[in-house]
């Protein structure tokens, strides 16, 4: 009999300044295969959301230092983050809900709420997003949409040349495996490869865009073999 694989955990960011509510959410969702991170104010929420790949975000409206609407707008409009967001708040008027949707929220749940309903809504958001992001490649905090050819790292948009885009897509599709120099050269030039080491030049330019502005490199050279893209352990 074949081995039954455990379902992939759902990674969620819970943005809520009430520690008791966070504890209740954690106690319930962690029993249902969720891996949770918590932020207790607006700026921390933005930082966590842009530096990690979450499946869904639960965002309270009333937060210290930056309210939930501002957080949502910043993630959607400035960082172009597409992670599903469920707005969680005690404000339940129609205008409040419309403001939340206008800011970029995908769903709205009023306090007080049942944990079963929160779980059901998060499951629905994740399933909907999975259908929408089948063309999304992700390595650490780097994403590429194969349909739109948009690349982001830590929420920042990166403009890449067509050649660099082809190299990056190949590396991300094969991650964390090594892609040989021969494979990459064939990808760019087929049988008409240049005499000089043009691949190294292209990889250098790609690294300047993907790695140089950020703290940790993702593109790694495998001496005499090729390149790989992956998040190396600390």
Q: Which of 75, 106, 132 is the last residue of a domain?
A: 132
Residue 4 lies in a domain: no
Residue 80 lies in a domain: yes
pLDDT: which is higher, 201 or 134: 201
- Are 125 and 14 part of one and the same domain? yes
Q: Which of 83, 114, 132 is the last residue of a domain?
A: 132
- Are 36 and 118 part of one and the same domain? yes
- Are 24 and 80 part of one and the same domain? yes
Sequence-ordered alpha helix ranges (H) in the chain? 19-29, 42-51, 68-73, 94-103, 115-132, 162-174, 181-189, 198-210
Contact 129/57 with Cβ under 8 angstroms?
no
- Nearest-angstrom CA–CA distance, 45 and 77: 15
Structural domain count of the chain: 2
Range of the domain at 152: 136-229
pLDDT per residue as tens digits for the range 81-110 = 889 999 998 877 788 888 888 899 999 999
Residue 134: predicted pLDDT: 62
Residue 5: predicted pLDDT: 44
Q: Taking all residues of the chain, what is their mean pLDDT, rounded to a whole number?
A: 89
- Are 47 and 101 part of one and the same domain? yes
pLDDT band at residue 6 using 50, 70 and 90 as cut-offs: low
Residue 47 Cα distances to 15, 32, 54, 154, angstroms: 12, 26, 12, 9
pTM: 0.59
Q: Which of 80, 112, 132 is the last residue of a domain?
A: 132
Overall average pLDDT of the 30-40 stretch = 95
- Nearest-angstrom CA–CA distance, 15 and 72: 11
- Are 112 and 39 part of one and the same domain? yes
pLDDT per residue as tens digits for the range 125-151 = 988 877 665 678 889 899 998 878 889
- Are 15 and 116 part of one and the same domain? yes
Residue 106: predicted pLDDT: 92
Residue 224: predicted pLDDT: 86
220 in helix, strand or coil? strand
Q: How many C-beta atoms lie closer than 10 Å to residue 2's C-beta?
A: 4
């Amino acid at each position: 009999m074949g081995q039954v694989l455990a379902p992939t955990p759902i990674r969620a960011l819970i943005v809520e300044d009430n520690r008791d509510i966070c504890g209740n959410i954690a106690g319930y969702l962690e029993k249902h295969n969720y891996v949770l991170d918590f932020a207790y104010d607006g700026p921390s929420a933005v930082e966590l959301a842009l530096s990690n790949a979450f499946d869904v975000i639960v965002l309270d409206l009333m937060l210290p230092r930056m309210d939930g609407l501002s957080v949502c707008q910043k993630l959607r409009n400035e960082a172009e983050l597409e992670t599903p967001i469920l707005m969680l708040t005690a404000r339940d008027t129609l205008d409040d809900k419309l403001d939340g949707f206008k800011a970029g929220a995908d769903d709205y749940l009023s306090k007080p709420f049942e944990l079963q309903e929160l779980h059901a809504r998060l499951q629905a958001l994740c399933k909907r997003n999975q259908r929408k992001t089948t063309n999304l490649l992700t390595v650490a905090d780097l994403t590429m949409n194969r349909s739109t050819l948009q690349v982001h790292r830590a929420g920042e948009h990166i403009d890449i040349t067509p050649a660099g885009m082809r190299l990056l897509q190949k590396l991300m599709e094969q991650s964390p495996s090594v892609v040989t120099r021969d494979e990459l050269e064939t990808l760019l030039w087929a049988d008409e490869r240049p005499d000089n080491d043009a691949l190294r030049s292209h990889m250098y330019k790609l690294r300047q865009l993907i790695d140089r502005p950020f703290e940790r490199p993702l593109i790694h050279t495998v001496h005499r073999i090729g390149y790989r893209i992956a998040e190396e352990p600390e």
